[in-house]
Amino acid sequence: MNTSPYPHLQQQSARPVTLGDLRAMKNSGDRIACLTAYDASFAALEDRAGVDVVLVGDSLGMVVQGGASTTGVTLDDMVYHSRITAAGLSRAFLMTDLPFLTYATPQAALSAAHRLMAEGQAKMVKIEGGAEIVETVDFLTTYGVPVCAHLGLRPQMVHKLGGFKVQGRDAADAETILADAKRMEAAGADIVLLECVPSSLGARVAAALSIPVIGIGAGPDTDGQILVIYDILGLSPGKKPRFVQNFMADADSLDTATADYVAAVKSRAYPRDEHGFK
Ligand code: KIV
């Protein structure tokens, strides 16, 4: 029975994407197309376009709430946006961010993940961190919580980093990110998300792991790509990061632009070399 309050927004026929499907896509070399969404209408747009994974990102603190960073986003905010995004989906796999400082201990992470999955209907949680979260990833996955580990640029660290900066340019930093990615896989993570690293490092991490590696500003050789929906629709004001492409520029509707993004990821037309970092 369809329990969505927005049945008119959902595709009725498509089989939901599973983690097994995403792993099979990695193995067959089929690119995984991902986008952020924060509500039912954009979720339904993305579902219709064939997006495989929808992320309710804590980027909502910036693009929806108008903040300068993601650190002001609360768990209640994420639960609310996850629930209303889930209401627009029938096929895409729903991943939701654990917000800043809600996973400082494994037990806190488990409680927060429980809220995102039970109330927010997320199928996976995304967590930012390196070596310090390996124990937490292990704990969550032991209890059956699918985890995406977010490495490279971790936006929740913006105040510590002094800005949104490319990571892993230095050889030692690159080795740390690669080693952390392997640790995440060993701890049970099902996906690694890699943000703003040199394209060469994106390729190395994807080649070294058997779980899918999704990139944003990580070059063309990761197993999938993710962007913020408002960025691909040209809605975000100001200077764009190098990896953003406005798919609305040549499209006559939101549906066409979103489907063009999916097609470009699948055909490897996006991202191109110029979208990557050295
Ligand atoms: O919060 C978010 O939207 C993200 C993506 C930019 C990957 O983490």
With a 6 Å cutoff on the Cβ, whether 33 touches ligand 1 is no
Q: Once rounded to an integer, what is the mean pLDDT over residues 3-20?
A: 71
Domain assignment of residue 210, yes or no: yes
Domain count, the chain: 1
Lowest mean pLDDT among 10-14, 89-93, 225-229, 250-254: 10-14
CATH of the domain at 211: 3.20.20.60
- Distance, CA of 130 to CA of 179 (rounded, Å): 9
Lowest mean pLDDT among 161-165, 196-200, 221-225: 161-165
Query: In this structure, what token pair is assigned to residue 246?
Result: 């406005």
Domain assignment of residue 8, yes or no: no
pTM of the model: 0.95
Q: How confident is the model at residue 2 (pLDDT cuts 50, 70, 90)?
A: low
Q: Is the per-residue pLDDT at 108 higher than 70?
A: yes
Domain assignment of residue 63, yes or no: yes
pLDDT for res 1: 47
pLDDT for res 238: 87
Q: Is the per-residue pLDDT at 17 higher than 50?
A: yes
Ligand 1, atom 3: closest residue by C-alpha: 57
With a 6 Å cutoff on the Cβ, whether 99 touches ligand 1 is no
Domain assignment of residue 7, yes or no: no
35 CA distance to ligand 1 middle (Å) = 9
* 274 is known as an active-site residue: no
pLDDT for res 8: 52
Q: How far is CA 263 from the centre of its chain?
A: 18
Q: How confident is the model at residue 212 (pLDDT cuts 50, 70, 90)?
A: very high
Q: How far is CA 112 from the centre of its chain?
A: 18
Burial of 35-74, coded b for 16+ CB within 10 Å and e otherwise, reads: bbbbbbbbbbbbbbbbbbbbbbbbbbbbbbeeeebbbebe
With a 6 Å cutoff on the Cβ, whether 156 touches ligand 1 is no
Q: Once rounded to an integer, what is the mean pLDDT over residues 141-165?
A: 96
Q: Is the per-residue pLDDT at 151 higher than 90?
A: yes
With a 6 Å cutoff on the Cβ, whether 46 touches ligand 1 is no
The atom number, within ligand 1, closest to the CA of 126 reads 8
Q: How confident is the model at residue 70 (pLDDT cuts 50, 70, 90)?
A: very high
Structural domain of 203: 15-275
1 CA distance to ligand 1 middle (Å) = 32
